Amino acid sequence: MDRAEILELYASAGSGPPLPTGLNRVQHAWQCARLARNAGAAPSLQLAAWLHELGELRLGLNGGAPAATPDGEAVDPAQLSAAWLEPLFGPAVAEPVALQAAARRCLASTKADFRRRVPAGWLARIEHECGLQTPLEARAFLQRPFAPRAIRLCLWDVEAQDPGLWPPSIDAALDTLRRLMWLLQSSVPLRASVLMPRAGVGRRLTVLPARA
């Protein structure tokens, strides 16, 4: 996947169906990136906010439905997003995205206000799929290099849920995304797979073809 294909995906999503929250993918991504920009986040984290749901968009998921490979193996869309993003933009963009599941677990385990703000379905999925973090696990997670950025991204993801807030135009929003991608394009060579750590254990994810 390259920058042009990412832009094409988001351009198509601009007129796509709404998510269960009432937003569509581009509206939500733009709101996340807007929160990041207003918080003074680095361009790399702004781009992570834009593209944190690239995996869901590429796989055609709507509203967090479980993802799977053709042979039925469960897939974490955030890990797929990161696997596509790292060769293009480096770890400063990819790692906060890759750590989203762990960031949600950490916040749900340690912040009562976060538990009150998120949909009940989120908490049920966290508890069912991987459980809450113990205090020791939460402290260990927060020591990881990109964990603070992942936490910020997760909070923006929860906040960016206003169905009435739109960019001036889809074209203007996509132009912002385009400029960020061109600014942050990595010199890392594109490769077929990338090693993404998960729960302290390296796991190699095979990148799906950019087109079916």
Residues 69-85 have pLDDT tens digits of 445 566 788 888 999 99
Beta bridge partners of 75: 67
Nearest 5 degrees, angle CA 163-CA 183-CA 203?
Answer: 80
Residues 101-155 have pLDDT tens digits of 889 888 888 887 887 777 666 666 666 666 678 888 889 999 999 999 999 999 9
pTM above 0.85, yes or no: no
For 91, the 3-state DSSP assignment is helix
Please, is 111 exposed, middle or buried when counting C-beta atoms within 10 Å of its C-beta (0-12, 13-18, 19+)? Answer: middle
Q: Which residues contact 75 (CB under 8 A, 6 or more apart)?
A: 55, 59, 67, 68, 69
Q: What pLDDT, on a 0 to 100 scale, did the predictor assign at position 199?
A: 37
Count of all residues that appear for the chain in the document: 212
